Amino acid sequence: MSSCADWTIAVFSKILIANRGEIACRIIRSARRLGIATAAVYSDADRGALHAVLADEAFWIGPAPARESYLDGVKILEAARQCGAQAIHPGYGFLSENADFAESCAGAGIIFIGPPAAAIRAMGDKAQAKMLMEKAGVPLVPGYHESEQDEARLAESAAALGYPVLIKPVAGGGGKGMKIVSHATEFAAALASAKREALSAFGDDRVLIEKYFSRTRHVEVQIFADGEQNFVHLFDRDCSIQRRYQKIFEEAPAPSLSNELRQAMHETALSAARAIGYVGAGTVEFLLSPDDGTFYFLEMNTRLQVEHPVTEMITGIDLVDWQIHVAAGSTLPLRQEEIFSHGAAIEARLYAEDPARDFLPQSGRIVRLDFPEPGEHIRVDAGVRAGDVIPIDYDPMIAKLIVWDQDRVSAVRRLRTALAETRVAGLAANLDFLRAIASQKAFNEASLDTGFVERYAGDLLAPPEPAGSEILAMVVIGLLCERAASVRRQAERSADPWSPWNSQNGWRLNEHARETVRLREIRPKGSSDRVIEVIYLREGWRLGLPGGSFFHAGGTRAPDGTLSVDLDGHRLRGVFVRSGEEMLVFRGTESGHRFALASPIAGAARGGEAPGRLTSPMPGRIAALLVEPGSFVEANQPVLVLEAMKMEHLLTAPRSGIVKEFKFKLGSQVAEGVELVTFETGPPPDAAHDIRPPDT
């Protein structure tokens, strides 16, 4: 990446980073290269977090909820004053697009590393931004962008546009609060949900309505400007592959664009930035028709984007370096004709979420986390390490894997290898889903649009094949090695470590010792038990596998979990990981296989949830109660909304019946697995018990 050799103005001696996770860690790296000291902030949930450890100093700013910590500008400014920081870098999310906070920084004599408050305000209100862009001649998606928020007026606008429509928060981004509405009968419920999510995430429940296009590409242009109003673009990115309106794959440059179309989008993005007197890094996002090349202004993000590394990989420019220098008063070091694009870069976002459960966010401890070796072709931006906890209070991102190569075909091939070398254990992650996308024929052919995930869901979310004999043998050998290590440690502590009773191999004098291992393979669509017979030999074991096959086996397990196995002379390598009661085995580029020790009693105990109960799938807050106690509901009818990890999750009735009792009040925090609602069987009540939202 470019150095600061061409800059003419000295930068700050210390900056405070008003963020967390991978973006805070990434900013620290650039600051360190520039010789700038860094201060981090952290909440109760982030004590010991990687960003707080990497910074030169760190300040506690409050409890876990973002509103009481990372969104509290007063506490962050106080931390900046305490440490003597001359500037604050907001990263993305949280306060990065908060015009009031940018003004507060100026009032406190601290530089905000971002655009002027006026530019943030102009583009932060999406409705006002669209009106401004319309005046500047930028093409807009048809929709309702006015200030009146009466439900009847919004519904009328949706009907006039014609369904399907998209409800979208006026403030914020990241897909939060966005709802696709296919029919007028769904509008009221979707609007209420969008407003709740928007208020929770951004403190503003205003929305706009746009025509929803089922087949479009999401293409954006990275722009940069300095205080002298010199503007450049740093080419484009495609971010079409999304789930829940959030990007999961991004690449630069956007593939399959003609030179004329690419140039038109670049010029339109620069026109949008000039219209508001922009300064710093920004991204202008467009919806692009893959059929006729028509494009529409979507929004402008007045901050650094999550996907900025792919632009850095193709240009060699460190965007955080540029942000810091421009904030310090420097002019841009390069003119447009001096900025070049080389090769192709792709980014995949690794999240703690369960694709098999509609991408339900996960929280918990990461037991194992392996990434490919970084280098010229591979970059890993991570904010957590093995042993860290993904908290319930924030976005569940684990890391971003970014690859670069001379062309897109080579970059895709490198991406598949990088994903194959990545491992996550301890909680569910979307790694297999990412691997499936990278192997999908349409992705390899760059046939991209925002409906990609839905179109190929059957392939992308297909459950993995059951473990074969070699995997079963490997997990048993991992268990036997683990047990042997435990016995060895016990023997070392014994008064007579050479006692034959401390034998580690299970061998007996006059006969072969035997035991039966019952494994439960844990799979997305249910579990199954597999029985393996182990016969202890003088050297190794004889394993009897389901189906009647046998292996003469041996093996060792290193302290880091690396497993070396010999099955009838066939040598295999893998990784054995223990995560509480679960065991995971990774072999080569295969997905991890999950197991637990099973017994008939355990199987009966795990036979399923008792009928008539609705439990919380994860820790969260009760955001809405959708029916009255005493109401009759059909099976799978929505009964409450759980808010967790910045998103709303609609929970439905497990069976038809009468809602007997809500166990928690509106706004209550609940733990994973607790009972939320009880039901009782019975016929539908009379018309006096119609279903409607309670007064809350």
Residue spans in the chain of domains classed CATH 3.30.470.20: 343-462
Q: Which residues of 406-437 are buried (b: 16+ CB within 10 A; e: fewer)?
A: eebeebbebbbebbbebbbbbbbbbbbbbbbb
Task: Tell me the CB-side half-sphere exposure of residue 96, using CA atoms within 13 A.
Answer: 24
- Who contacts 677 (Cβ-Cβ below 8 Å, separation ≥6)? 613, 614, 639, 640, 653, 659, 660, 661, 662, 663
pLDDT in tens, 140-179: 888 898 889 999 999 999 999 999 999 998 886 667 788 9
347 versus 633: the higher-pLDDT residue is: 347
Q: How far is CA 208 from the centre of its chain?
A: 25
pLDDT in tens, 538-574: 889 999 999 888 999 999 999 999 999 999 999 999 9
Average pLDDT over residues 441-467: 94
Q: Check whether 665 has a pLDDT greater than 60.
A: yes
* 142-211 placed in CATH 3.30.1490.20: yes
pLDDT given at position 478:
94
Q: How far is CA 447 from the centre of its chain?
A: 23
**Arch. (CATH architecture) of 613-689:** Beta Barrel (2.40)
- Band of residue 483 on the pLDDT scale cut at 50, 70, 90: confident
pLDDT given at position 603:
35
Average pLDDT over residues 219-225: 98
pLDDT in tens, 401-419: 999 999 999 999 999 999 9
Q: Check whether 313 has a pLDDT greater than 50.
A: yes
**Which long-range contacts (C-beta less than 8 Å, at least 24 apart) are formed by 329-334?**
329/9, 329/227, 330/7, 330/8, 330/9, 330/226, 331/8, 331/226, 331/227, 331/228, 331/230, 332/224, 332/225, 332/226, 332/230, 332/232, 333/2, 333/6, 333/7, 334/2, 334/6, 334/232
- Band of residue 124 on the pLDDT scale cut at 50, 70, 90: confident
Average pLDDT over residues 197-206: 84
Q: Which residues of 597-609 are buried (b: 16+ CB within 10 A; e: fewer)?
A: ebeeeeeeeeeee
**Highest mean predicted confidence (pLDDT) among 117-126, 167-176, 219-228:** 219-228
**Highest mean predicted confidence (pLDDT) among 8-22, 92-106, 137-151, 673-687:** 92-106
Class of domain 343-462: alpha beta
Average pLDDT over residues 493-501: 54
Average pLDDT over residues 423-431: 94
Nearest to 308 by CA among 245, 379, 255, 370: 379
Percentage of the chain with pLDDT > 70?
91
Q: Strand, helix or coil at 473?
A: helix
pLDDT given at position 486:
80
Average pLDDT over residues 334-357: 96
Average pLDDT over residues 508-524: 78
- Who contacts 404 (Cβ-Cβ below 8 Å, separation ≥6)? 313, 314, 343, 344, 345, 376, 377, 378, 379, 411, 414
- Alpha-helical (H) ranges within 67-180 are 73-83, 99-107, 117-124, 126-135, 151-161
Choice among 186-195, 217-226, 340-349, 663-672 with the minimum mean pLDDT = 663-672
**pTM, rounded to two decimals:** 0.83
523 a catalytic residue:
no
Question: What is the CATH code of the structural domain delimited by 14-113?
Answer: 3.40.50.20
- Band of residue 692 on the pLDDT scale cut at 50, 70, 90: very low
pLDDT given at position 192:
92
pLDDT given at position 682:
63
Average pLDDT over residues 340-359: 95
pLDDT given at position 455:
94
Q: Check whether 609 has a pLDDT greater than 50.
A: no
Q: In this structure, are strands 638-644 and 37-42 parallel, antiparallel, or unpaired? A: unpaired
Average pLDDT over residues 666-678: 87
pLDDT given at position 691:
36
- Band of residue 694 on the pLDDT scale cut at 50, 70, 90: very low
Residue spans in the chain of domains classed CATH 3.40.50.20: 14-113
* 469-603 placed in CATH 3.30.700.40: yes
* H or E stretch at 312: helix 308-315
pLDDT given at position 621:
87
Residue spans in the chain of domains classed CATH 2.40.50.100: 613-689
pLDDT given at position 654:
85
Residue spans in the chain of domains classed CATH 3.30.700.40: 469-603
Q: Strand, helix or coil at 208?
A: strand
Q: Check whether 467 has a pLDDT greater than 60.
A: yes
pLDDT given at position 579:
83
Q: How far is CA 44 from the centre of its chain?
A: 21
* H or E stretch at 299: strand 295-301
Beta-bridged to residue 140, according to DSSP, are 297
Residue 97 and residue 278 in contact, taking contact as beta carbons nearer than 8 Å:
no
pLDDT given at position 613:
77
Nearest to 438 by CA among 241, 217, 214, 257: 241
- Could you say which of 121, 217, 243, 303 is catalytic? 303
pLDDT given at position 681:
72
Question: Can you tell me which residue has the tokens 């630069």?
Answer: 252
Q: Strand, helix or coil at 336?
A: helix
∠193-622-427 over CA atoms, to 5°? 100
- Band of residue 8 on the pLDDT scale cut at 50, 70, 90: low
- Band of residue 645 on the pLDDT scale cut at 50, 70, 90: low
- Band of residue 137 on the pLDDT scale cut at 50, 70, 90: confident
Choice among 29-38, 232-241, 456-465, 644-653 with the minimum mean pLDDT = 644-653
- Band of residue 599 on the pLDDT scale cut at 50, 70, 90: low
206 CB neighbour count, 10 Å cutoff: 17
Structure tokens at 434: 């990412």
Beta-bridged to residue 522, according to DSSP, are 527, 594
645 versus 452: the higher-pLDDT residue is: 452
Residue 612 and residue 681 in contact, taking contact as beta carbons nearer than 8 Å:
yes
Q: Check whether 59 has a pLDDT greater than 60.
A: yes
Nearest to 481 by CA among 570, 386, 580, 585: 585
Structure tokens at 669: 């925090």
pLDDT in tens, 576-598: 998 878 899 999 877 789 999 87
Q: How far is CA 250 from the centre of its chain?
A: 13
Residue 596 and residue 658 in contact, taking contact as beta carbons nearer than 8 Å:
no
Q: How far is CA 657 from the centre of its chain?
A: 36
Structure tokens at 571: 């040598």
- Band of residue 201 on the pLDDT scale cut at 50, 70, 90: confident
pLDDT given at position 519:
93
- Band of residue 199 on the pLDDT scale cut at 50, 70, 90: confident
